[in-house]
Amino acid sequence: MAGEELKPNGMQFADKEVYVKDVFTEIASYYDEMNEIMSLRMIRGWHRYMMKLLGDISGKRCADVGTGTGEIALLLAEKAGKGGEVVGIDITPEMLIYAERKMRGRGPPKDVAFEVGDALDLQYPDGSFDVVTSGYMLRNVNDVQKAIDEMYRILAPGGKAVMAEMATPDNRVVRWAFKLYMEKRVKRIGRKYDRGEEIDGKMPAYDWLAKSIEGFPHGEVMADKFSKAGFVDVRAHKKNFGAVYIYEGAKLR
């Protein structure tokens, strides 16, 4: 990562978990709308790619950690079908209110159990799930390795995990364009929503969402964390010139 300080455990500061929860409580009502705008509607493609990597999951037990408004959990429920079970876990109750509302609004019930929980201390016994997913949560936690370790722990032998996270592109020209996009578009549009109000005396919500990406471990550095947790067949799939990575890993039978 030339010219960029790599923060192997993401950006950490005192009371980060309180701040993060307050940020997502604040933005829950417009989170989906902003995601679509910020990602130039590419987020749906990244979700589809996650589902493709999972292969056939019909009838499987699935957990989506840091589920937010439940988009990935609902895709899992559709893909796992009637015999499947899906739990969507998030530390911010307000996000889960919108997830529940979305589930009820989308035709036949999808039966996702949305539960409040902390990714760093998941309340499920070892090997509870065949599939574990997580989208854009890792940079929000105060111990990235612990979160990956926990997701590995709740995965059953033979199970598979797929996680997506934003990154700063390594290529200098792309990184310049990405930074410009973050500063000029994301923060500017975000300002209309977060009104530039500081949360907990720290930065406004959309400043955090942009800042937390800077220097966040990605690619091989992140893949090593998966291997360290015990995952095998780890792969880091680079998307959009390295603005997003989708990681996959399996647990040995």
The residues binding ligand SAM (CB under 6 A) are 20, 24, 35, 66-68, 71-72, 90-92, 95, 118-120, 135-137, 140-141
Q: Please, what is the minimum distance in Å from the beta carbon of residue 206 to ligand SAM? A: 11
Residue closer to ligand SAM by CB (options 141, 199) is: 141
Phi-psi region of 46 (alpha: psi -120 to 50; beta: other; left: phi over 0): alpha
Q: What is the DSSP letter of 243?
A: T
Q: Please, what is the minimum distance in Å from the beta carbon of residue 27 to ligand SAM? A: 9
Residue closer to ligand SAM by CB (options 22, 170) is: 22
Would you tell me the crossing angle of helices 187-194 and 31-38 to the nearest 10 degrees? 170
Q: Please, what is the minimum distance in Å from the beta carbon of residue 153 to ligand SAM? A: 14
Q: Please, what is the minimum distance in Å from the beta carbon of residue 214 to ligand SAM? A: 15
Other C-beta atoms closer than 10 Å to the C-beta of 221 total 14
Q: Please, what is the minimum distance in Å from the beta carbon of residue 149 to ligand SAM? A: 13
How far apart are alpha carbons 169 and 99 in whole angstroms? 30
Residue closer to ligand SAM by CB (options 141, 229) is: 141
- Closest residue to ligand SAM in the complex (CB): 68
Residue closer to ligand SAM by CB (options 26, 85) is: 26
What single letter denotes the amino acid at residue 165?
E
How far apart are alpha carbons 148 and 134 in whole angstroms? 10
Residue closer to ligand SAM by CB (options 87, 119) is: 119
How far apart are alpha carbons 235 and 105 in whole angstroms? 35
Residue closer to ligand SAM by CB (options 209, 236) is: 209
Q: Please, what is the minimum distance in Å from the beta carbon of residue 242 to ligand SAM? A: 18
Tokens of 86: 């899906």
Strands (E) in the chain, as ranges, are 61-65, 85-90, 112-116, 129-135, 155-166, 232-239, 244-250
